Amino acid sequence: MSKLLIIGAGPAGIFTALELIKKKAKYDITIIEQGHAVEKRFCPKVKTHECTHCKPYCNITSGFSGAGAFSDGKLSLKCEVGGDLPQLIGENTAQELIDYTDTIYLEFGADKHIEGATETDEIREIRKSATIAGLKLVDCPIRHLGTEKAHQLYYDIEQYLIAHGVTLLTDKNCSDIIIKDNVCVGAIVDGKEITADIVVVATGRKGADWLDEMCRQHGIGREAGVVDIGVRVEVRNEVMEKVNKALYESKLIGWPQPFGNKVRTFCQNPGGFVAQENYDNNLAVVNGHSYKELKSNNTNLAILCSHHFTYPFDDPIAYAQKVGEVTNMLGDGHILVQRLGDIKVGKRTWQEELSRSNIKPTLTDAIAGDITAAIPYRTMTCILNFIEMMDKVVPGFASNETLLYAPELKFYSNRIKMDKNLKTTVKNLYCLGDASGWTRGLMMASAMGVYMARQLT
């Protein structure tokens, strides 16, 4: 029986193992995960209302089910959304994989309801406003698991894998990959060598810079990808009501002047909460999620601006990290928040001024300040101009009390070179999911895991 070592128990790694079991493939599977088992994952902030900077790893981003367990669990059901896997394996295959992977989520108890599945007059109206504003509306049906339901679903998957013979080693860190004569033969886990016939690296966004380092150290083929830097915007539900009802999530893309960078909305959470996630290098990054039952009065969404570097600089992850570090420095290690009206008149926001608005920040330990002092001019200008375009689709979006949290950064910019069978430049080494740079969402990372399993059978 061949030994398969999967590093990272996020959706990509989990669905590789799940599909191999379903296909009754003869593999001795071990999954290494630096975070806790899903039943032991708990974000203390629910009680403390303040980030306690969990050590050694943030419970939001680490542990069985990866960034998925505490995530909003919005499964994007169209292959246009969630990453570039279709470019690698073809659109039809990617869509077939997503449809199939969705049936596995349903098998494990996902809600049968799909948001935004049918074209309505309201959606047509929103598309018309978007067209007038110069924005593209991407239709994408969504299955919403909800943070609390996602936790149970992934617990059931975890138990299923264990019951079917998978060795799940949680709280174990992989520090290195062993490559001899361009063949991967194992990995170093908690200082010990584990040999394997095949190694699958699926370490997610938080493991993207580690994988980047592995590539440079071992000569694994890679290329610099796009880096997304942005803000998390929060408005009252009333402002977003029309869009929330018609679409749940509005995926809008624009190329605002004068720079023409691609700017897009991402991860919209009606009635949701702005959240903080921490990376191992103490970087505090803003995100957002929503529960199925517990609702706030606000809607939050990310606005991300893509940057592509060519020559001589090819380290976009480092660039985004520097932006994040400066923003964290100005917030004394916390997430910064600023009112749009203050940005427009060129002043910082003071803590006491936040209470003068209709909107109450849902990230209660964010520090009022000046995000424009940290975010590069080009990025900030693109975001502000995009917000004005959004205001034509969602009147009130660009109002003075709209909140902008920073930094929102997406670390999937290192892209691993691979062919359509997911073969990297190193024999027996595969890289999947967000860490590989080919996905950036739950569904596509899961689908890539399924595809991986099919390549191994």
Q: Answer yes or no whether residue 299 interacts with ligand FAD by CB under 6 A.
A: no
Paired tokens of 155: 């617990």
Long-range contacts of 346-352 (CB under 8 A, 24+ apart): 348/373
- Work out whether 212 is an interface residue with ligand FAD (CB under 6 A): no
CB 76 within 8 A of CB 435: no
Under the criterion CB under 6 A, does residue 202 sit at the interface with ligand FAD? yes
Is residue 150 a contact residue for ligand FAD (CB under 6 A)? no
Between CA 74 and CA 65 the distance in angstroms is 14
Note whether 215 binds ligand FAD by CB under 6 A.
Answer: no
Binding-site residue total for ligand FAD (CB under 6 A)? 46
- Within 10 A of 255 (CB to CB), how many other CB atoms are there? 18
Tell me the helices (H) and strands (E) count for the chain, helix number first: 13, 22
Cβ proximity of 358 and 393 under 8 Å: no
In DSSP terms, 115 is beta-bridged to 142
Determine, following the binding rule CB under 6 A, whether residue 287 of this chain makes contact with ligand FAD.
Answer: yes
For residue 344, the minimal CB distance to ligand FAD (Å) is 29
Q: Provide the angle, in degrees to the nearest 10, between the axes of the packed helices 121-133 and 377-393.
A: 140
In terms of CB distance, is 186 or 207 closer to ligand FAD?
207
Candidate residues 4, 5, 12, 422; the one interacting with ligand FAD per rule CB under 6 A: 12
CA distance 374 to 377: 9
**What three-state secondary structure class fits 214?**
helix
Could you tell me which residues come within 8 angstroms of residue 328 by beta carbon, excluding any fewer than 6 positions away?
Answer: 282, 283, 284, 334, 407
| Closer residue to ligand FAD (CB): 10 or 256 | 10
Residue 143 found at the interface with ligand FAD (CB under 6 A): no
Q: Which of residues 387-426 bind ligand FAD (CB under 6 A)?
A: none
d(CA 173, CA 25) in angstroms, rounded, equals 27
277 binds ligand FAD (CB under 6 A): yes
Nearest to 284 by CA among 233, 337, 237, 241: 337
For residue 393 the two structure tokens come to: 């689709």
| Among residues 174, 220, 229, 374, the one that binds ligand FAD under rule CB under 6 A | 174
Rule CB under 6 A: say whether 272 interacts with ligand FAD. Answer: no
Candidates 97-105, 156-164, 255-263, 435-443: pick the segment binding ligand FAD (CB under 6 A).
435-443
Give the residue, chosen from 94, 275, 317, 431, that forms a contact with ligand FAD under the rule CB under 6 A. Answer: 275
Q: Scan residues 37-66 and list those touching ligand FAD (CB under 6 A).
A: 60-63, 66
Cβ nearer to ligand FAD, comparing 231 with 343: 231
Q: Which is nearer to ligand FAD, 172 or 242 (CB)?
A: 172
Under the binding rule (CB under 6 A), the answer on residue 210 touching ligand FAD is yes
Q: How many CB atoms lie within 10 A of CB 240?
A: 24
- 9 scored as a contact of ligand FAD (CB under 6 A): yes
Task: Say if CB 34 and CB 172 are below 8 A apart.
Answer: yes
Please check whether residue 14 is in contact with residue 35, taking contact to mean a CB–CB distance below 8 angstroms. no
Nearer residue to ligand FAD within complex by CB, 66 or 316: 66
Of the two residues 69 and 133, which places its CB atom closer to ligand FAD in the complex? 69
Sole window of 27-35, 124-132, 156-164, 338-346 interacting with ligand FAD (rule: CB under 6 A): 27-35
Instruction: Give me the least distance between CB of 371 and ligand FAD, in Å please.
Output: 20
Q: Torsion angle, CA of 162/153/363/240, rounded to 10 degrees?
A: 150
Say whether residue 71 binds ligand FAD (CB under 6 A).
yes
Beta bridge partners of 303: 231, 265
- Give the whole-angstrom CA distance, residue 22 versus residue 352: 56
Minimum CB separation of residue 433 from ligand FAD in Å reads 2
In angstroms, rounded to a whole number, what is the distance separating the alpha carbons of residues 105 and 433? 17
Q: Which of 59, 101, 170, 173 binds ligand FAD (CB under 6 A)?
A: 173
Binding stretches for ligand FAD (CB under 6 A): 7-13, 32-35, 60-63, 66-68, 71-74, 76, 82, 173-174, 202-207, 210, 267, 275, 277, 287, 289, 433-435, 440-443, 445
